[in-house]
């Protein structure tokens, strides 16, 4: 499994590269905004992007800013031609770029198809379902990025939980616990009814509501979303690589690795979380404390 760093911060990229642990970088307009604000807005953007590409040992995803087919194609060509001499440029295109769910629904797919035909590598972004992933792969995306953390948030929000109040962004989403909650909710609903047949259970609206709130169209977590996409791609030999995105914690990284995902892209703080463990810190303190003088003298020569 390859690890990409999900950031536009040169300091973070430089440090991670020096540690030899990242294979690429993914950026987006929000991450670029954060990097610019960190530097009080005083950034020569073209030089800054060049430096990111020159630092990174693998692909760097740069995202377009428009949502219409013609403009996205134009921006993608501009980004690719302007920066490809500095590194491995991949263009991020939203799988669906519609702002209202009605207009230009297919512009993202059309753009992916057009760019793929011009041998411009595309990372299909904002993928929230296996169905979207299938379409992105068939359109020719080199990479497909399902947003695991956002699906976890969406499911928690559906049952009335709110980020910052009931859970934090980096908090692990316990989908095994949620499956148990689902069973308890169904049992509680049924206990208050006089239902005598499987048909009545299946057709009961309260039962349907209890079940639908705890998943997203049958997907119970961000991990399950990625697992479904990986399975489908392998079933049909799709060439697109899956980038597990919107990763919030180290446990998610491990679970993505267990699935066998091609790539996971993580924010900088997750790298630190992956490395640290209280027993490791305890152990290194013990080892340092226990060094005997004869052994220390070996290193003093």
213 belongs to the catalytic site: no
**Pair 146, 244: CB distance under 8 Å:** yes
**Catalytic member of 33, 38, 92, 239:** 92
Give Cβ neighbours of residue 141 (< 8 Å, ≥ 6 apart): 93, 112, 116, 122, 123, 124, 240
CB count in 10 Å sphere of residue 206? 14
Instruction: Give buried/exposed letters for 24-46 (b at 16+ CB in 10 A, else e).
Output: bbbbbeebbeebeeeeeeebeee
* Strands (E) located in the chain: 2-6, 24-26, 59-63, 88-94, 122-127, 143-146, 241-244, 263-266
H helix intervals, 56-146: 69-83, 107-117, 130-139
**Pair 42, 81: CB distance under 8 Å:** no
Q: What residues are labeled active site?
A: 92
């Amino acid at each position: 499994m390859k690890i990409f760093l999900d950031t536009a911060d040169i300091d973070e990229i430089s440090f991670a590269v020096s540690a030899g642990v990242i294979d690429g970088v993914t950026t987006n307009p929000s991450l670029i905004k954060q990097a610019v604000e960190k530097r009080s807005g005083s950034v020569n953007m073209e030089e800054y992007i060049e430096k990111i590409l020159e630092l990174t040992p693998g692909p760097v995803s740069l995202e377009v800013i428009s949502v219409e087919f013609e403009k996205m194609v134009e921006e993608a060509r501009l980004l690719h031609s302007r920066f490809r001499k500095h590194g491995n440029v991949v263009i991020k295109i939203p799988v669906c770029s519609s702002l209202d769910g009605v207009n230009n629904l297919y512009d993202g797919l059309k753009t992916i198809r057009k760019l793929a035909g011009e041998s411009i590598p595309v990372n299909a972004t904002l993928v929230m379902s296996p169905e979207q992933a299938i379409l992105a792969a068939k359109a020719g995306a080199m990479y497909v990025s399902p947003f695991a953390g956002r699906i976890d948030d969406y499911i928690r929000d559906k049952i009335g939980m709110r980020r910052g109040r009931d859970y934090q962004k980096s908090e692990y989403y316990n989908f095994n616990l949620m499956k148990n909650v689902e069973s308890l909710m169904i049992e509680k609903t049924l206990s208050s009814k006089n239902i005598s047949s499987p048909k009545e259970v299946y057709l009961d609206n309260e039962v349907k509501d209890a079940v639908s709130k705890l998943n997203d169209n049958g997907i119970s977590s961000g991990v399950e979303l990625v697992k479904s996409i990986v399975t489908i791609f392998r079933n049909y030999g799709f060439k697109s690589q899956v980038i597990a995105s919107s990763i919030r914690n180290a446990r998610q990284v491990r679970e993505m690795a267990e699935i066998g995902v091609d790539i996971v892209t993580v924010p900088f703080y997750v790298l630190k979380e992956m490395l640290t463990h209280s027993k490791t810190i305890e152990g290194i303190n013990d080892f340092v404390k226990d060094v005997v003088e004869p052994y220390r003298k070996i290193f003093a020569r």
